[in-house]
Structure formats: structure tokens, C-alpha cells
Structure 1
Amino acid sequence: MDIKAMDLPPRKVAYLRYTGPFGPAIGSFWRDVFNPWRAAHGLMARTTYGVAQDDPSTTPPERCRYDACVEVDEGYAAEAPAATAVLPGGRYAVAAYRGDASGIGAAWGAFYSQALPASGYETIPGPCFERYPADYSEDAATGVFQCELCIPIK
């Protein structure tokens, strides 16, 4: 896994929260809840983020929180059930991911346990997230997509 250090600016996002076990249900949440919400609010063709708020290795599955986010303009005011937040800017270790939803958990595991320690980068507290480009697409036949895995570093 190749890792690069990148300086990312802060981004205002609107998000919808999923609570429950990580895994295939998050893909269903994006497809059935978040993407229709984005379309209804004119927020398609913008960079999106997936932010795990909890570590599934230490949090009971039914209490794990995950925010599906989309970049919004500074003055954007979200209406419930959406909320807004700012993803902090700073230096991040970034690894490219290409695969389907069933492999992203293992990719995160390899990033944290193998690639990041081997890189020499030191993590700092802050949100880790998946970043999806504004022109994101998923292969309808295979479910394969691309995103970047981002971890805050010194």
C-alpha cells in the first residue's frame, strides 16, 4: 500500500448519520438514504466523505456511528435530519483504495496496522475518513469504486 502525506484544507460538510454495525449496511445507507437526500438538496457532483466516529474494535456494533458527508458552501444551513460540521484541515497520510465495499474494512486494517507504521508517519488525534471525488462512480456489475483513506498525522 502506497502512502503519501497531503495537506488538506478544512471543509464544511453536511452529513447524515448511520448508527449500527459497520459493513454492508453502510453501502445500503449511502445508496438508499444519503444519495437520494443529496440529490433532493442539489448536492450531487461534490466531494463526499465517509467518517467513522467510532472504532469498531472497541465499540459495540449497535453503537458504532458513521457520517456520510458532502462538501457544502460556507453559508449552507442543513435541515434535520442532516447536520453540518467542519472536517479539520491539516496533514494526512493518504492511501488510495480501489475495490468493493466488502474490502474497505480490511484496507483500513492494513493501513493502520502495517502501512502506516512502516511509513514512519505518526498519527495525531482527529477524524479519519474516506474521501470520494466529485465524479465518484461505482461499477454497476462489480461494485468496484475508488476513494482515498485519510488519517491525520504530525
Structure 2
Amino acid sequence: MALAYVGLGSNLEDPLAQVTDAFVELAELPLTSLLARSSLYSSRAVGPEQPDYINAVALLDTQLAPLALLDALQAIEQAHQRVRIQHWGPRTLDLDLLLYSDQIIEEERLTVPHPYLTQRSFVLYPLADITPNLQLPDGTPLTDLLSRCPADGLLRLPSPA
């Protein structure tokens, strides 16, 4: 089994429902258990002008190999009508494999840790919700990254009643 952290984001077609539904779909992946989910956050979009995002992070315990997990994540995105037209453009659902246990992966289709993980408040703060004492595969503590990454408009949403 491997612990995998997945970043979730949406800013189109009821983003709150897109992310909430994606948590359910992640929990239903074969050979995988959803161990934890962060709070939901609202964040400003990176890239061209577009609506704000809803973001979160999920922690999975999985027997799927990294590329098989990536394929499963992309299948969920497709089920949510994800269209890849513009880099950093608006999307119904974005699922990023952030970390896969302590592995460092550099393949054509997959880079883990995620290349922008250390620079994105909408990833770091939800990660801290789940595993505040997390260390990246290179030994960098999450707390160090948080101290260098301002919240920059990130807003934790209230938990649903």
C-alpha cells in the first residue's frame, strides 16, 4: 500500500459539488481507501482571468501503481467533463497527484512531488489540514514551506452542517 495525496480543484459548473462528488469517487477507486480529506478552500485562480476555485486535498491509501492512479484520476476528471484547452485555464475538475509515499517520480506523464506543490497555498494549507507534520520526499518539512507561502487570499470554507 502507498499513501497518495491528491489535490482537488474546480471553478466551473458548481465547483463545490464538483469537489464534493470527487471525494466520493476517490473513495470508490479500486484497491484504494480514502483516509482523510481536508477542509474546502476558496482561492483565486492562477493564470488568465477566471472564476475563483474551490480546492482541497485527499489522502488515499492505495495499491494502485502511480501511473495507474494517474489514469484513474484522469478518468474521474473526464467523467466531470474536464476539457484541457488552456494551460491554467478554468476547469470543471482538476485532480493532481501531489505525493506518492516518499517516491520521487520523473516520467513523461507524471512528476511527483507535483512540480508546483511547494509554491501553492491552495495545496499547502489543505495538506497541513490532513498531515501537519508531513515531510516531502527530499526531507523538507511542510511547516517550512507554509512559513514561506502566504495564504494570499486563500479562504477556508465553513464545514457543511
Please indicate, yes or no, whether the TM-score normalized by the shorter chain is above 0.5. Answer: no
TM-score, with length taken from structure 1: 0.36
Higher strand share: 1
TM-score, with length taken from structure 2: 0.35
1 or 2 for the larger relative contact order (CA 8 Å, sep ≥6)?
A: 1
